């Protein structure tokens, strides 16, 4: 456990039921792949530190949402406080790809007045023989919405790190440029803690107010 990080980003993972959201997150946070897993109930929570530059760590809080329609009223509540999101579909399931539009519409309604930086993720790319969605059309759709596209496999650990860290980097750039700012009442980005050896314990109390640049 390491409490020292520059920022904390909240990421939300959405997409149709059974596209592999929880498996992707578990691969990323726990380094494991579970052959069998129960459908997610409501929301689940994970976290991991990512080092985007030497010495610069970002804590990711990842919200895993249930794909099932019946939990939609719960999962919706989590859009607003997310700065980034992974929108998953299953490359072997055409329907899950077609629903990408709906997911984007849904988030758009519920995220206001904020916005989420999304990456489109074509999951289960290890099952290339059963592919129903070509890389080309997925890339086209992603581009239309200004998203990046990446294909991943939790089972074979393909691009899992990359999917999360690329998104984290992109958000970090936006934060650095001031295009995403830390705001009161919004949990998407929070400032972290940087070790400070010089302060005495008296000053530590005061330094809670310091601005982290």
In the bound state with other proteins, the residue whose beta carbon lies nearer, of 158 and 163, is 163
Tell me the closest approach of the beta carbon of residue 174 to other proteins, in angstroms.
Answer: 7
Tell me the closest approach of the beta carbon of residue 173 to other proteins, in angstroms.
Answer: 9
Which residues in this chain contact other proteins in the complex, by CB under 8 A?
A: 1, 3-4, 38, 41-47, 61, 70-71, 73-74, 76-77, 79-81, 104, 107-110, 112-118, 145-147, 174, 178-187, 190-191, 193-197, 199, 201, 204-205, 207-212
In the bound state with other proteins, the residue whose beta carbon lies nearer, of 130 and 183, is 183
3-class DSSP assignment, residue 118: strand
- Binding annotation for GTP: 17, 20-23, 37, 40, 67, 123-124, 126, 154-155
In the bound state with other proteins, the residue whose beta carbon lies nearer, of 128 and 145, is 145
8 in the Ramachandran plot: left (φ > 0), alpha (ψ -120 to 50) or beta?
A: beta
- Phi, psi torsion values for 75, nearest 5 degrees: -65, -35
In the bound state with other proteins, the residue whose beta carbon lies nearer, of 129 and 208, is 208
Tell me the closest approach of the beta carbon of residue 145 to other proteins, in angstroms.
Answer: 5
Do 93 and 5 form a contact (C-beta atoms < 8 A)? no
In the block, tokens 């916005």 appear at 115
Tell me the closest approach of the beta carbon of residue 196 to other proteins, in angstroms.
Answer: 5
Give pairs for 135-140: CB < 8 Å, separation 24+: 138/89, 138/91, 138/97
Sequence-distant (≥ 6) Cβ neighbours of residue 129 within 8 angstroms:
none
- Binding annotation for Mg(2+): 22, 40, 64
Question: Which stretches does DSSP call E strand in the chain?
Answer: 5-15, 43-53, 56-65, 84-90, 117-123, 148-151, 189-193
């Amino acid at each position: 456990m390491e409490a020292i990080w520059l920022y904390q980003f909240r990421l939300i993972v959405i997409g149709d039921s059974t596209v592999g959201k929880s498996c992707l997150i578990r691969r990323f946070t726990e380094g494991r792949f579970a052959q069998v897993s129960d459908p997610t109930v409501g929301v689940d929570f994970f976290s991991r530190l990512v080092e985007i530059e030497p010495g610069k760590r970002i804590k990711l809080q990842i919200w895993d949402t249930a794909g099932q329609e019946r939990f939609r009223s719960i999962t919706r509540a989590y859009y607003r406080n997310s700065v980034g999101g992974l929108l998953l579909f299953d490359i072997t399931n055409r329907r899950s790809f077609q629903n990408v539009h709906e997911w984007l519409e849904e988030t758009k309604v519920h995220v206001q007045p904020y916005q989420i930086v999304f990456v489109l993720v074509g999951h289960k790319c290890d099952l290339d023989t059963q592919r129903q969605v070509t890389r080309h059309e997925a890339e086209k759709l992603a581009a239309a919405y200004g998203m990046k596209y990446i294909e991943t496999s939790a089972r074979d650990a393909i691009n899992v790190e990359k999917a999360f860290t690329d998104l984290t980097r992109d958000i970090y750039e936006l934060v650095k440029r001031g295009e995403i700012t830390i705001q009161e009442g919004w949990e998407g980005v929070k400032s972290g803690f940087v070790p400070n050896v010089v302060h005495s314990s008296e000053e530590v109390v005061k330094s809670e107010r310091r601005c982290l640049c």
